[in-house]
Amino acid sequence: MNRKFINLAAIAAVSVGVCSCGGNKTSNKMRITKESFGMHDGRKVDRYTLANGQGVTLKIATYGGAITELWTPDKEGVSGNITLGFPSLDGYRSEEFLKSGPYFGALIGRYGNRIGSAKFTLGGVEYALAANNGANHLHGGLQGFDKAVWDATELLEKDTVGLILNYLSKDGEEGYPGNLNVEVTYRLTKNNELKISYRATTDKLTHCNLTNHAYFNLSAGKASDVLGHELSILADKYTAVDAGLIPVGLPVEVEGTPFDFRTPRTIGERINDDNEQLKNGGGYDHNFVLNSGGGTLSLAATVYEPLSGRTMEVYTTEPGVQFYAGNFLDGTLVGVGDVQYGKRSGFCLETQHFPDTPNRPDFPSTELQPGQTYASETVYKFSTK
């Protein structure tokens, strides 16, 4: 079953506070502004600031569709930036950033995560992709969606402010077949939710697996790493990986392993265990098989940070989520507020299909055919306690 083609009416009906209203009215306190963010390949890059009037502010660059900042209130009502990013385009184009490749806050495509041996066969044709992660293909290749300049349209709806981003990935780009028209919509609601909606169509059979690569540190500077964050993931299984982080065998039960987050556990509680299951990737960098199975908007994970009192709930229509604990950050990069991003200074919960699905017919399919619409939704809901 291809779980990408979902019931949009069912999504609208899920009660997580996501506004499905039309119209062009908005609260007086909700606003969107635009500023110049630099130039890339002769194209102007803008950055948009979305504010919901409830203390949540979101900043998005048209370069890579990247979330550069996300400010939310703590338990005292003081807003702080909870994502990793840079104050200008220079940070995203620096030699250090491009070499290390952390993809801060960027839209990822055509294929989020890894494809083994940088190739797949589709419709009887073998397609060769860039091997940009050892022998494997990672996050769309050398020039993935994270390095594209997206077209932007401001969006105002009842109780929602948003930004619509569009990009045409041409046939053969990074080795993928088909002209892929992509639309990603960011919505910030009055209920302190960030909703990301992904849509895509193709004129040729292809693979499509989109996600966002935001790094979170809910302490907003109160802690230099995320090891004290309490995480729960609604997954009974995960995909074990080889040294190249390509899934091996069938999904494995989390019971009795460091991957059991069915009840809240701190990220750092078991991350340094001398355990073979954690050595590949240097810690957590694994796909969790969500119990929901994908297809309907469902709770996937919850994170609580005790110093700030912030809580983040993650809802998605995807069948998997990649939990990455920032193992490869090394302090080289300095971001917003002159914060140095050391090892495990941020974590990712990348909602997506499973790694290497194009070479694994037993995984939920990522094939997209002409006449079909790729559709995926993820919601991050913020609160305090």
Catalytic residues: 213, 350
Structural contact between residues 319 and 364, judged by C-beta atoms closer than 8 angstroms: yes
Among 239, 214, 216, 232, residue whose Cα is nearest residue 320: 239
Residue 37 CA to residue 44 CA, distance in Å, equals 8
Residue 296 CA to residue 5 CA, distance in Å, equals 10
Cis status of the peptide bond prior to 187, with omega within 30 of 0: no
Residue 349 CA to residue 357 CA, distance in Å, equals 18
Task: Write down the residue that tokens 């806050």 correspond to.
Answer: 105
Alpha carbon of 36 to those of 43, 56, 155: distances in Å? 11, 21, 19
Residue 158 CA to residue 190 CA, distance in Å, equals 9
CA angle 91, 160, 104 (to 5 degrees): 20
Alpha carbon of 104 to those of 4, 67, 119: distances in Å? 25, 8, 25
SS3 of 279, please?
A: helix
Among 66, 148, 64, residue whose Cα is nearest residue 105: 66
In one letter, which amino acid is 134? Answer: G
Alpha carbon 154 to its chain centroid, in Å, reads 21
Backbone angles phi, psi at 173, to 5 degrees: -60, 125
Residue 266 CA to residue 231 CA, distance in Å, equals 6
Cβ neighbors of 76 (< 8 A, separation 6 or more) are 309
